[in-house]
Amino acid sequence: MALLSQPYRALIIGSTGTIGSAFMELLQDKPTCSAVLGLSRQSPHPIDYQNPDSIELAAKSLVDTGPFQLIINTIGVLHTDHWMPEKRLDELNSDQLMELMKINAIGPALTIRHFSKLLDPSNSVMVTLSAKVGSIEDNRLGGWYSYRASKAALNMLIKTASIELARSKPNTALIALHPGTVNSRLSKPFRGEQIGRPPLDAASDMLQVIESLNKEDSGSFISYSGERLPW
């Protein structure tokens, strides 16, 4: 039986990004979603992973607005104006590694800590976007050291938190979700426009998976197609 009741109230974290804005558009037009709110660096109570204190403050600003049955965190970074994914071990550097850990693992972990308090204990789903390249078992090509490591760390944090939430909120599912390649600024340098999908199609695929989840799925690493991915 699907965990997410209908209608449900949703919160999108990273709502001005490519995938976040697609989720906002999709949910605003979806009859089964009664309300959708968005948080970003531009929102009245901004959330900015460069400022970890903003995460708790943003969560506290929504205490009277919750609870939410669905929270989706779309924040993540693959490359910046300063760095591209490393192709060789000699390109690995501490600044890049720490930056991606901060955005892809530490920020999302603190988001789970503070925003899980806003989840409806009766039935809720919290999804954090991860990436298949964060799978240790699936790594056959190497490279992309910082991105792979940050997403692998994120996956462990999600898995560990799901075990605790299974005790405190047994009707909540905590999920790591792989969106696939999406046409975006993030994927553009890597042939994203040729091999990716439109953001709205990607959001629709992921929402179909999300709406089919049950509480036994908590702690899973899942693809947009519904495939269970190896850690």
Mean pLDDT across 190-213: 84
Confidence of residue 184 (pLDDT cuts 50, 70, 90): low
Provide the whole-model pTM: 0.93
Phi/psi of residue 204, nearest 5 degrees: -65, -40
Q: Residue 115: name the closest of 80, 81, 49, 68 by CA.
A: 68
- Extended strands (E) in the chain: 8-13, 33-39, 70-73, 124-129, 172-178, 221-223
pLDDT of residue 139: 92
Distance CA 118, CA 123 (A): 12
Mean pLDDT across 80-88: 87
Confidence of residue 188 (pLDDT cuts 50, 70, 90): low
Mean pLDDT across 162-182: 96
Name every residue whose Cβ is closer than 8 Å to that of residue 212 and which is 6 or more positions away in sequence.
Answer: 2, 226
Classified as helix, coil or strand, 178 is strand
Confidence of residue 192 (pLDDT cuts 50, 70, 90): very low
Each residue of 42-54: pLDDT tens digit? 999 999 999 999 9
Each residue of 13-40: pLDDT tens digit? 999 999 999 999 999 999 999 999 999 9
- The H or E element that residue 110 is part of is helix 107-115
Classified as helix, coil or strand, 174 is strand
- CATH architecture of the domain 8-223 equals 3-Layer(aba) Sandwich (3.40)
Average pLDDT of the residues of the chain: 93
Asked if the model's pLDDT at residue 61 lies above 60, the reply is yes
Residue spans per domain, the chain? 8-223
Side by side, the strands of the sheet bearing 124-129 are: 33-39, 8-13, 70-73, 124-129, 172-178, 221-223
Q: Quickly list H helices, 140-184.
A: 145-168
